[in-house]
Structure 1
Amino acid sequence: MKVWITLGVAVMLVLALYGASSYMLDYSLGYPKGERMTAEHWKNRTRNECPWTTAWMDSIYRNHCVKDTFLIMPSGYKAHAIYLYAPKATDKTAVVVHGYKVRAEGMLHIAYLYNHDLGYNVLLPDLYGHGQSEGDHIQMGWQDRWDVIRWAEVANNVFRASRYSSTKQVIHGISMGAATTMAVAGEKTPDYVEFFVEDCGYTSVWDEFAGQLKEEFGLPSFPLMNTTSWLCQQRYGWSFDEAQQIKQVERSTKPMLFIHGDDDTYVPYSMLRPLYEAKRHGRKAIFIAKGSAHAMAYRDHHKEYTEKVKEFVGE
């Protein structure tokens, strides 16, 4: 009898843990299409938070400068991006990557920095499961790295003027977009990808989720992180513990600028220093946005932020 009771309790615990893991996976990576904020929502938010971009935004949309492009990724899903040409012909191009549950239009303030202030061409992709791109879950910037490399190729083809053999690109991401940028930096990238800018990215998906699990639910990492990571592997083909942005930074060789607000608690400011120190190959620089919360460095310090980026990509 005791054996059956013990076995029954064990089965109940396994089922409960599986149920909790399934809930946490859906909670963290689920993003039903009906929940996605519209392009207008993000354009209006940019106008409110960064009012100096308003005239430029109104102009590029009024004059139909913002173009849509779609492609089928090697994994088989339909992906979308928006792009705009520089005011004057140039080989300089920025691929600007959005964050968690955002979309391409949510990065128009950074597009302003590159297009209006620095005279770059800009391409802004919708990552898997975001905006107008297909997808059934959020990839936290890990599997997205392959798509961004493909988008960099598209940007090179779109913006390569007849006088240039190729573009000179910077990949710039914020939050999950920064995690994507760092993940890309650890892979072999074409010569036309020259710089990386990561703004408030996390050291790893595991670290970020473990912190949020403790912050939001008051729970330790073990065992729920382990089982949820395993379930992610079974459902989506990747796990939390393999998604190590910091390991990608260690492997990177091209220049990288690290940005973080020192009042960031969502992706803790404490993650900045380990990431910066992990980069042992190639040029690097750091910009600490004093008093800025998560993803607010540009809003709070846009002039200094712009100068830091301009200086870094201009070297």
Structure 2
Amino acid sequence: MCVFRVNWKKLFLAFITVFLVIQIIGSFFFYGLAINRGPKEFLQNNADLEVSDKAMDLFINGSWKEWVGAQNFEQLTIQSRDGLELSGYYLPASEPTDKLVILTHGYLGNAKQMGLYGQYYHKDLGYNIFMPDARGHGKSEGDYYGFGWPDRLDLIDWTQDLVKKLGADTEVVYHGLSMGAATVLMASGEEDLPRQVKSIIADSPYESVYELFAYQMNRMFYLPAFPLLDSTSLLTKVRAGYSFRNASALTEVARTDVPILYIHGEADTFVPTKMAINLFQNTASDAELMLVPGANHGEAFALAEDEYKMKVDRFLKRHINTKK
């Protein structure tokens, strides 16, 4: 009679080895998929990013594109705290003013795409405008995407530079879209946020990088967040200098004193609407929330332009000194 004895110790070690190999391979796969700079084919034909014909027409054929092309932007550069050369575009107001808006774009976007909002601030409100390329985007250096966390420090440095350029009495508004919205929120609670920042507009923000990726992993790949997302976060910490759990807008808004207007589409399935609601409910400062029925991710301005502008205008009048 042959008796097979199971070596449980070896079996356990083999299991652990296979598990670790899968985590390592998976971490590098998802790092390349989302964090590493480059085109992201997995977002093509993503149903959660489909927009209405009205929104698409505005994004592609809107008069704002001609307006951006006709402006004589001054290209500015700074060096980030970790040695990257960052690029951005400054346009002074038609008449002298101490008002400045910094417009921060979304994931895989670029600075001049925020001209959709820049035209409104420049023509209707008479603001100086500045549109930076986030690290890893446009003309800015960087071989990874920061999803707002390292970018928050870049934003603060841009603000300090622009205040030196325009004067200490400058009143600054942050207006961000998607990743750019997370960026301005992640900057909102920082101790070195310049006192000149008076208001924040966050359009389609997410709570944290971890929560965003956990939602997307489940929605697109039917995978639980743990443990693969945690191992990818560890790899990102090693290669890009930040972890997903630390990159939290929710933590920052809970300690900010800057007024925040949240805007989100009620039909957003890419960054669920409940994230904006949760951010709003946990904001320590004066906060408002505008939800746009039927709007998918980033569509609020396109589908409700008049209401959007009216809400922003009223919010800014409450918190910006309009007499200057």
- Aligned counterpart in structure 2 of residue 291 of structure 1, from 289, 294, 297: 294
Secondary structure in 2 matching 1:257: strand
Matched, 1:109 2:116: yes
Shift of 1:34: 11
Once superposed, what is the RMSD of the aligned Cα atoms?
Answer: 2.1
* Structure 2 equivalent of residue 198 of structure 1: 202
Please give the secondary structure, in 1, of the residue aligned with 2:245.
helix
Structure-1 separation of matches of 2:246 and 2:55: 34
* 1: CA distance, partners of 2:68 / 2:204: 28
The equivalent position to 1:4 in structure 2, one of 6, 10, 31, is: 10
1:168 to 160, 165, 171: 171
1:81 aligns with 2:88: yes
Residue 47 (structure 2) aligns with: none
Q: Which amino acid aligns with 1:274?
A: N
Q: Name the SS for the 1:129 alignment partner.
A: coil
CA distances 1:66-124 after superposition (whole Å, capped 9, x unpaired)? 22111212211100001111111111110000011101011111111211111111000
Equivalent in the alignment of 2:321: none
Compared CA separation, residues 128 and 278, structure 1 to 2 (3 A): same
Q: Report if the CA contact (8 A) 1:115-1:121 is conserved.
A: yes
- Cα distance 1:266–1:61, how it changes in 2: closer, same or farther (>3 A)? same
Contact 1:96 1:172 in 2 (8 A): yes
Per the TM alignment, residue 272 of structure 1 is displaced from its structure 2 partner at its CA by 1.7
Does the aligned pair in 1 maintain the 2:93–2:127 contact within 8 Å?
yes
Q: What does residue range 105-254 of structure 1 map to in structure 2 within 5 Å?
A: 105-160=112-167, 165-188=168-191, 189-254=193-258
What letter corresponds to residue 112 of structure 1 in structure 2?
Q
CA distance in 2, matches of 1:25, 1:52: 34
- 1:91 maps to which of 98, 107, 113: 98
**Does structure 2 retain, via aligned residues, the 8 Å contact 1:53–1:112?**
no
**C-alpha separation between the residues in 2 aligned to 1:52 and 1:141?**
28
Q: Is the 8 A contact 1:46 1:108 kept in 2?
A: no
Residue identity in the other structure for 2:283:
K
- Give aligned pairs, total: 299
Change (3 A) 1:70 1:47: farther
**Which sections of structure 2, spanning at least 5 residues, go unmatched?**
1-5, 42-53, 319-324
- Structure 1 residues 37-92: Cα deviation after superposition (integer angstroms, max 9, x where no partner): xxxxxxxx9994258951x5435533x42221112122111000011111111111
Q: Deviations over 1:150-186 (max 9, x none)?
A: 11122223334xxxx4211100101000000100101
Aligned to 1:42: none
Larger radius of gyration: 2
Return the offset for 1:9: 3.2
Q: Is 1:58 equivalent to 2:66 in the alignment?
A: yes
Aligned counterparts of 1:228 and 1:47: Cα–Cα separation in 2:
34
Question: Counterpart of 1:21?
Answer: 27
The CA distance in 1 between the partners of 2:10 and 2:32, in whole Å, is 33
Letter in 1 for 2:142: G
Distance 1:46-1:72 versus aligned 2 partners, 3 A rule:
farther
Look up the match of 2:50: none
State how far apart, in whole Å, the 2-side matches of 1:31 and 1:51 are. 24
Q: Does the residue aligned with 1:81 lie in a helix, a strand or coil?
A: strand
Q: Normalised by the size of structure 2, how large is the TM-score?
A: 0.87
**Are the equivalent residues in 2 in contact too, given 1:71–1:78 (CA < 8 A)?**
yes
Q: Percent identity, aligned pairs only?
A: 31
Q: Structure 2 vs 1, CA of residues 92 and 173 (structure 1 numbering), >3 Å: closer, same or farther?
A: same
**1:254–1:59: structure 2 CA closer, same or farther, 3 Å change rule?**
closer
1:129 maps to a residue whose letter is: G
Contact map agreement 1:46 1:109 (CA 8 A) in 2: no
Residues 48 and 66 of structure 1: CA distance in aligned 2, closer, same or farther (over 3 Å): farther
Structure 1 spans left out of the alignment, 5+ residues: 36-44
Q: Distance in 2 between matches of 1:223 and 1:59?
A: 47
